[in-house]
Structure 1
Amino acid sequence: MTSRHHRAAALAVAVPLMLLLAGCSNDDDPEVPVVPTPGGSTGADGTGDPTQAGDPTPSPGSTTGVPEECGDLASAGEVAQILQAPMQGETVRVYNDEFLPDSGRTGRLTCSYGVPEVPPGQSAPPTPPPVPLQISVSGYVDAETAAGRIDPTVDAAQAAGGTVQAQPVAGRDGFLLSDAEDISFVAADDVRTYVITLRHGVVPAAAEPVVLVDLAAHLLGASATPTPTG
């Protein structure tokens, strides 16, 4: 396993707010091996190659109800355009479709954008640097199971002292969750749940909820940009 793969495997625990998202992650799921795969690097301008926006669909051959590639969610170029900030570094992919049958989950794709690259000949640091942006989509056996993951997620964020704000996007009920280090958007859409986590400081504070809503609209296939509530 390369140093890049070691770093990718640690990304699942690198974002503090993601640890609160038990409702979408299900602590009962087994810790099965996953194969992290780098999605590719951006250019010097950090924009990469934009692709056609639209409603994410499962990759060809997928039986999990979720995409298998980060480009099926959002390319680094699309992310940079929505954030109006460069995404220099790598896009790192972790895909998993092995879960206990009674967990209700069928698959999960996690994409980390702007991951600092390790220079050739050097080892990855023991503690991975913060990830600017992470998008996770999970598939479930039915829409009821997917929707049932959202309330526990919101409750966990509130119990941990985070700020919670209702934020519908594209006709789906969603929530903005914020703590000292990150701000996230969570929502369910049919048999899927989405979690978008943005580290504070990537964009100005006032723009954080706006760009999260724009990212959510992109993932959900919305044609118009909703206005954050509150």
Structure 2
Amino acid sequence: MRRLAVLGVAVSAGCAVALTGCAAAKRAPVAAPQIPTIVASTAVTTTVAPADRPLPDDCKLVVPAVDVDGVVGQPLDGQPARILGVPEPTVGRTGKLDCYYGIPEGRTIASAAIVIGLATYADEASAQQRVRDSVDSERQDGAGVADIAVEKMQGKLVTGKTERMVIGSLGRTTYVVRAKNGVFPDDKVGAALAALAVKALTPK
């Protein structure tokens, strides 16, 4: 009886080993998880922001005519024109450039659809004072004046009888963008003039 018991234990142990071996044989190997490769981007995105820059001497360096057309939504008639101003020490002005866009053939610059002007001053205080004086003058002539965002700056939207304008300063530079009434829809004129002001202050 004792031999039979021993043999029974041995047989049982052998079966257990065999079963374990069978189960191991049937189990599929587990694949190692795939780790994604992360490649750092080498692309560098640069943006040019409005700046208190030296006064350009060419309207192409203020706002190219094609960019003005893009904001308007259609090509303007005529060729651009420019007038370089002279310094005015009495008000601290060191330079001035006015750019005229959309001058009908055979007409003077006074008929331009859009005018963009930049001027530089001896210091920031002089530029700010010039903006205040200009806005007060327009208000005295009956124009409406409201605040308007020009990028991260604050300008003034002036509504006159025949034109709208956005005027303001950045450092020692003043800007003014004028458009004849009708060039832009009333509900879009402010944003359009502000967009042109940003373009005028952005180095090319």
Question: What TM-score do you get using the length of structure 1 for normalisation?
Answer: 0.62
Give distance in 2, aligned partners of 1:214 and 1:181: 20
Structure 1 position 128, deviation (Å): 6.1
Which amino acid letter does the alignment assign opposite residue 130 of structure 1? S
Is 2:78 the partner of 1:89?
Answer: yes
Is 2:183 the partner of 1:202?
Answer: yes
1:95 aligned counterpart, secondary structure: strand
Segments of structure 2 that go 5 or more residues without pairing to the other structure are 1-47
1:204 aligned counterpart, secondary structure: coil
**Which structure has the larger Rg over C-alpha atoms?**
2
1:90 aligned counterpart, secondary structure: coil
Q: Return 186-195 or 147-156, whichever deviates more.
A: 147-156
Structure in which a larger fraction of residues adopt helix = 2
Give distance in 1, aligned partners of 2:170 and 2:117: 13
Give distance in 1, aligned partners of 2:95 and 2:110: 26
Question: What TM-score do you get using the length of structure 2 for normalisation?
Answer: 0.69
**Does the C-alpha gap of structure 1 residues 102 and 210 become closer, same or farther in structure 2, counting only changes over 3 Å?**
closer
Contact 1:54/1:218 (CA < 8 Å) preserved in 2?
no
Contact 1:162/1:178 (CA < 8 Å) preserved in 2?
yes
Contact 2:148/2:190 (CA < 8 Å) preserved in 1?
no
Where does residue 44 of structure 2 map in the other structure? Answer: none
2:111 aligned counterpart, secondary structure: coil
Residue-pair matches, total: 157
Which amino acid letter does the alignment assign opposite residue 149 of structure 1? R
Moved segments of 4+, more than 6 Å: none
Where does residue 64 of structure 2 map in the other structure? Answer: 75
Where does residue 219 of structure 1 map in the other structure? Answer: 200
Deviation string, structure 1 residues 181-215 (Cα, Å, up to 9, x no partner): 00000010111100100001112222211211211
Structure 1 position 221, deviation (Å): 3.4
Cα RMSD (Å) of the superposition?
A: 2.4
Give distance in 1, aligned partners of 2:72 and 2:172: 27
